[in-house]
Chain A
Amino acid sequence: MSTPLRAIELPELAASEAFRRAVDIAAEHADDVDRQGRFPVEAVSALRAAEALSWGVPLEYGGAGAGIDDLANATFELSRRCSATGMIFAMHQIQVASIVRHMADSLWFRNYLKRLAREQRLIASATSEVGVGGDMRKSIAAVTAVPDSVDNLVQFEKKASTISYGAYAEDLLTTLRCNPAAESGDQVLVLTHFADMDAKPTSTWDTLGMRGTCSPGFVVRATCLADQILPVPFAAVAAETVVPVSHILWANVWLGIASDAFIRAQNFVRAQARQNPGTTPPTALRLSELSARMAEFRALVQGATQEYMALADSERRAGLSTIGYAVRINNLKIAASEAAVEACQGALRICGFAGYGNAGPYSVGRQLRDAHSAALMIANDRLHATNAALLLVYREGK
Chain B
Amino acid sequence: MSPTESQTIQSQNRERVRQIVREHAGLGVAFEKVDSATDLYRAGMTSYASVVLMIALENEFELEFPDAMLSRNVFESIDSITNAIESLQRVNQ
Residues of A within 8 A of B (CB): 137, 182-186, 233, 235, 239, 318-319, 321-324, 386, 389-390, 392-395, 398
Contacts and interface: CB of A to CB of B under 8 A. Distances in A.
Interface string B16-60: 000000000000001000000000011110111001001100100
Contacts of A323: 51, 67, 70-71
A321 B71 CA distance: 5
Nearest to B27: A183
A102 to B, nearest CB: 15
Contact of B67 (A185, A239, A322, A392): A322
B17 to A, nearest CB: 16
Q: Which of B41, B47, B55, B73 has the most CB of A within 10 A?
A: B47
A393 B48 contact: no
B65 interface: yes
Contact of A322 (B48, B54, B64, B70): B70
Contacts of B91: none
B68 interface: yes
Interface size class of B (residues with CB under 8 A): 20 to 34
Contacts of B64: 395
Nearest to B48: A389
Nearest to A236: B72
A186 B43 CA distance: 8
B72 A235 contact: yes
B44 to A, nearest CB: 4
Given A137-B47, A183-B42, A323-B51, 5 more contacts: A185-B41, A239-B72, A318-B71, A323-B70, A395-B64
A321 B51 contact: no
Nearest to A235: B41
8 closest A-B pairs by CB: A323-B70, A183-B44, A322-B71, A321-B71, A324-B67, A393-B54, A186-B42, A321-B72
A239 B54 CA distance: 19
A321 B48 CA distance: 15
A233 B73 CA distance: 13
A318 B67 contact: no
A185 B67 CA distance: 24
Nearest to B30: A183
A389 B50 CA distance: 10
